[in-house]
Structure 1
Amino acid sequence: MISRLITILQESELLLSDQEIESFSEVQPLLNDEDIADALWLASKIGSAYKVSEPAAIKAVSESDDAIAIEVIDDNTVVVAPSPMVSAYMPPAAKSDNGSMETPELGLPIQVQAAPALAHPREISRSLRPLLRKVPSLTRSELDESATVNRIAERGIWLPILKPSPERWFDLELVIEASKFSFIWQETLDEFQQLLEGQGAFRNVRTWTVKEAATGQPQLVAKRQQGTGIEQDQPLRSPKELVDASGRRLVLFLSDCRSRLWQQGQIHDWLTLWSQHGPAAIVQLLPERLWSQSELDVGFAVQVGSLMPGAPNSKLQIRELPARTEIAPADTLTVPLVTLTAEALKQWALVVAAAGRQRSPARLFDLSWVSDPERDQAMAVIQPQSAKERVELFMATASLLAQRLACMMAAVPVELPVVHLIQQELLPEVQSVHIAEVYTSSLLEEVRPNRGRL
């Protein structure tokens, strides 16, 4: 067996012949038995040697779809047949239960870094600096070292003197309306909530959700997320829980003001309750030029200011009220309006802090007209039907950035991560309000049940 192995190694030129061994031994001594044993041990650890088989032992492989045919020409030549061909034809999409053909997915999925949904978060964080002041606490106290030392030195009274501890000015109540287009703003609102919670401008930040009940009335629930990120059902809460008797609580109501809840009148009652006890504002998710197409058009466009820091909405100074407007003060609701932009938030924060003569846009609602059934008939709008009419309406009312964004969205799958990627790489000047212009227009229609896919 060993002699046969030596012969095979010499024929394969893997082992020196007797003549080569003799000539090599004259130059340097040969390996001894221990060196050969070490080499064999090392070879066994590195890997198995090439397996030499007899030519007759090679058998033809049966042809199959997944096998590669090997044909032996002679003792030294082996030809490997090409791998089986795969058809480039894609089978037709399967029919769904209702008989319609589903559109096949085009292209290959790729992984890209998601773009931030909230534009300019640093600027937004800096815009809230007027609210960063500290005020004496009503519940906590701390040692006044200077006053304590002075009294000990002057009177010899060894008793501590306490003073209210400084704390943040406001608590924040973030109320988010769950409407038909909530998925558009989900990532934006989540990032805005995280920004407010991590900024440190408020003592406490609580988030609430307003949704429509089966009866058409609004319902208020606390928004809480478990470790999995799935929002769990919460018991119904009262809007009075957001009221603070000390007036040190801000309420931000985030909505596009287009849902049916704004036609019931109960939302206005909630805003009236919150506005009587502290500053409250509507964070309008749509741009100002589209406010007239929402339920905000029911109110009068005014400007508000304040001479007292932290004044409730009921004590704001109203400017630019239309002439010959006769409304009883008890039947009115005044709410400042802001958007998710640094400039608008800073303008409102300066009004809350009563810094100078700053003004902020607002709406003055006549509560008697809001609950009037004839209002819906008077404000009925005829929607365009044909595709041409929809495009013409969009091009006539949308901003230039929204038009450019819509053109780019027409070439890619209409999904929010893709839209945010376009915003980051191609149109960095686009903001969330421009994305809302496209989504809330009549150009898109839902073709699949997946959220965010239109």
Structure 2
Amino acid sequence: MITRVTQVLAESGVELSQEELLDAFWLAGRLPRGSGPLARLAAPEAPYGPAEAPADAAPSPAEPGPEGAEEPHEPATAGQPDPGPARPVLSTAEPEEDTDAPQVPALPVRAPDGRVSGAGELRLGKSLRPLRQRFPDHRRHELDIARTVTVLADTGMLETVTRPVRSRWLSLVLVVDDGVSMVLWQRLAAELRALMERASAFRDVRVHGLDTRGGTPRLRTSPYTDSGRLRAPQTVSDPTGNTLALVVSDGVGEAWRDGRMRRVMELWARCGPTAIVQALPARLWDGSGIAARPWRVTTRRRGGPTRAWHVTDPVLPPDLVHFDSVAVPVLEPTPVAVGDWARLIASPSGTAVLPLWSPGRDRPGRPSAGASPGDGAQAVLRFRDAASPEAYRLAAHLAAVSPVTPPVMRLVQTALGPPTDPGHITEVFLGGLMHQLTTDAPDRLPHHRRYDFSGDARPLLLTAVSPKELLRTTRTVTAHIEAAVGRSPVFPAWVGHPDGSAVIGNAGRSFGWLKEELLRRLGIAPGGGSGTGTGSGPGPRAAGAVPDPAAPPGAESDGCGTATEPLLPGPDELPPGWEPS
């Protein structure tokens, strides 16, 4: 019977194994009553706007006019079904105080998050293959069937013969720095942990959190939590040299600059192989506490402590330059960097050029995350002078949808595309403009924590970009969410819905607009009506945001600002020297 059902499904274009079919039956029997069907991930939906017309067809009235002309509304295409109203999705669902904006009901939704490693995750896993070596473990033995049969045939006596079990030669201790700024790299740490556990290269994988807030760095049983017993760094040292210590950090914490973490890393490097995975892009390494420069490294045996490495300058002769510290490799989370390091660790003897943690002078730390007290205009001016142009542009886009969580920051940065990268998120986060909301519980998970800009800084940042650019970014974020449904990890968000139990105080700060079809795929049944702040189709108003008829002229919402909160401040509201874009 099951075989016949799978054959019928295969002929219909749905190929399922018998186990998958039984799982589907089991799940169907446990779904709550009245729940909608769980649709399979379909092909990408048609992009916003009308279908592409043939080259020889006459231009339609909806095509854009000359350069500089106002972008017209995009009418629904006759060949496409109406996707339904679009609903705003935000990072928070709390009513705003001291405002007359309408309160939009909202439902919780698990929005898909992007992967930090992206398409290179498979190649990153392949770069660890040199570590998949097995060697005889004389502490464990197993039955040698072939030799036992040979002895029985030669002597006629049933005598068992054993041999050492061939097992993996390395254990892994993954230490995740959980400082203030490392909340941005929680997804990277989670992906590295999953990658190491699936690599089949280690006997066991132990994960610890690194607490550097006290006098001496300590280890926790789990990262990103305040609970758990604190342990000394010596507890993970392995005198046998068969334990690899891998630290994930961005080097922003004070302990990376004042020498405390250097003493810890040297302790681990004296016992076994040790390395640091630098979360920041290479262009920001010199500004962190983990600056590195390339050195030529020669190993004398497989694995072993990195203290025993022979280090020379890759260009200058050894008599001119000396490396007067313990060698600690600093790796980018890329297949090339990890592959070169893994081949060097796994080879009995070899030579490679690797970036090593520079033994430079200890430098004072940079300011940590948190809004600077004082005038918001001065804080924005300081940030604009110190940050890169890409980080300043990213800050304006984040201010338009704030408060934001780390996954929303990554979605907005990904939507902007090159030349912005995750390092620019760190520039904004540590730029003295953002602060964590005080309403968040202390035990809130890292990717659930919400961050906002100060009230004075937000309108000034919004002058850096035009409303049309903000709308394009919102559409791109929505397209990324649609493409990632069912394929990526999720994070909590709130979507406007007439059946919601919570309320959204300002739908204009939404980072995306989800249509009814996508909401069904996310497990939310369609509501009865378009709801407040939604419309009938996409267009220049961010998926059809409807202006408030009671609002004064020129104050209607465009998907990034509301009638009660204009997108850009008026000329009389700007401080001296500021001009809107």
Q: Taking structure 1 as the reference length, what is the TM-score of the superposition?
A: 0.63
Task: Report the CA distance between 1:317 and its aligned residue.
Answer: 3.0
For 2:327 and 2:100, the matched residues in 1 are separated by 50
Q: 1:189 to 1:409 in 2, by over 3 A?
A: same
What letter corresponds to residue 166 of structure 1 in structure 2? R
Query: Which residue of structure 1 aligns with residue 504 of structure 2?
Result: none
Give percent identity, aligned residues only.
28
Would the aligned equivalents of 2:296 and 2:352 in 1 still touch at CA under 8 Å? no
Query: Which residue of structure 2 aligns with residue 119 of structure 1?
Result: 117
For 1:343 and 1:310, the matched residues in 2 are separated by 19
Query: Which residue of structure 2 aligns with residue 283 of structure 1?
Result: 277
Query: Which residue of structure 2 aligns with residue 390 of structure 1?
Result: 383
The CA RMSD over aligned residues, in Å, is 3.8
Q: 1:363 to 1:200 in 2, by over 3 A?
A: same
Task: Report the CA distance between 1:303 and its aligned residue.
Answer: 4.1
Would the aligned equivalents of 2:434 and 2:451 in 1 still touch at CA under 8 Å? no
What letter corresponds to residue 115 of structure 1 in structure 2? D
Unmatched runs of 5 consecutive residues or more in structure 2: 1-94, 441-448, 453-581
Query: Which residue of structure 2 aligns with residue 418 of structure 1?
Result: 408
Query: Which residue of structure 1 aligns with residue 303 of structure 2?
Result: 310
What letter corresponds to residue 341 of structure 2 in structure 1? W
Query: Which residue of structure 2 aligns with residue 223 of structure 1?
Result: 222
Q: Which shows bigger deviation, 137-146 or 304-313?
A: 304-313
Query: Which residue of structure 1 aligns with residue 97 of structure 2?
Result: 94
What letter corresponds to residue 267 of structure 2 in structure 1? L
Task: Report the CA distance between 1:349 and its aligned residue.
Answer: 1.4
What letter corresponds to residue 135 of structure 1 in structure 2? F
What letter corresponds to residue 347 of structure 1 in structure 2? D
Task: Say yes or no: does 1:365 pair with 2:359.
Answer: yes
Within-5 A mapping of 1:150-229: 150-156=150-156, 158-214=158-214, 216-223=215-222
Query: Which residue of structure 1 aligns with residue 230 of structure 2?
Result: 236
Task: Report the CA distance between 1:403 and its aligned residue.
Answer: 6.8
Would the aligned equivalents of 1:217 and 1:264 in 2 still touch at CA under 8 Å? no
What letter corresponds to residue 274 of structure 1 in structure 2? W
Of structures 1 and 2, the one with the larger relative CO (CA 8 A, separation 6+) is 2
Paired residues in the alignment total 334
- The structure that is helix-richer by fraction is 1
Would the aligned equivalents of 2:294 and 2:353 in 1 still touch at CA under 8 Å? no
What letter corresponds to residue 419 of structure 1 in structure 2? M
- CA deviations 1:194-216 (Å, max 9, x no partner) are 332233321111111121355x3
Would the aligned equivalents of 1:287 and 1:434 in 2 still touch at CA under 8 Å? no
Query: Which residue of structure 1 aligns with residue 328 of structure 2?
Result: 335
Task: Say yes or no: does 1:257 pair with 2:246.
Answer: no
Query: Which residue of structure 1 aligns with residue 466 of structure 2?
Result: none
Q: 1:420 to 1:296 in 2, by over 3 A?
A: closer
What letter corresponds to residue 128 of structure 1 in structure 2? L
Unmatched runs of 5 consecutive residues or more in structure 1: 1-91, 96-100, 225-229
What letter corresponds to residue 306 of structure 2 in structure 1? N
- CA deviations 1:369-409 (Å, max 9, x no partner) are 55xxxx54xx999x99653342243226xxx6x67755643
Q: The residue matched to 1:208 in structure 2 has which SS?
A: strand
Q: 1:235 to 1:395 in 2, by over 3 A?
A: closer
What letter corresponds to residue 409 of structure 1 in structure 2? L
For 2:246 and 2:110, the matched residues in 1 are separated by 34
Q: The residue matched to 1:210 in structure 2 has which SS?
A: strand
For 1:103 and 1:264, the matched residues in 2 are separated by 49
Q: 1:443 to 1:168 in 2, by over 3 A?
A: same
Query: Could you tell me which of 351, 354, 372 is aligned with 2:344?
Result: 351
Q: 1:201 to 1:390 in 2, by over 3 A?
A: same
Would the aligned equivalents of 2:290 and 2:358 in 1 still touch at CA under 8 Å? no
For 2:398 and 2:256, the matched residues in 1 are separated by 31
What letter corresponds to residue 360 of structure 1 in structure 2? L
Would the aligned equivalents of 1:301 and 1:364 in 2 still touch at CA under 8 Å? no
Q: The residue matched to 1:158 in structure 2 has which SS?
A: coil
Q: Taking structure 2 as the reference length, what is the TM-score of the superposition?
A: 0.50
For 2:334 and 2:243, the matched residues in 1 are separated by 22
Q: 1:251 to 1:147 in 2, by over 3 A?
A: same
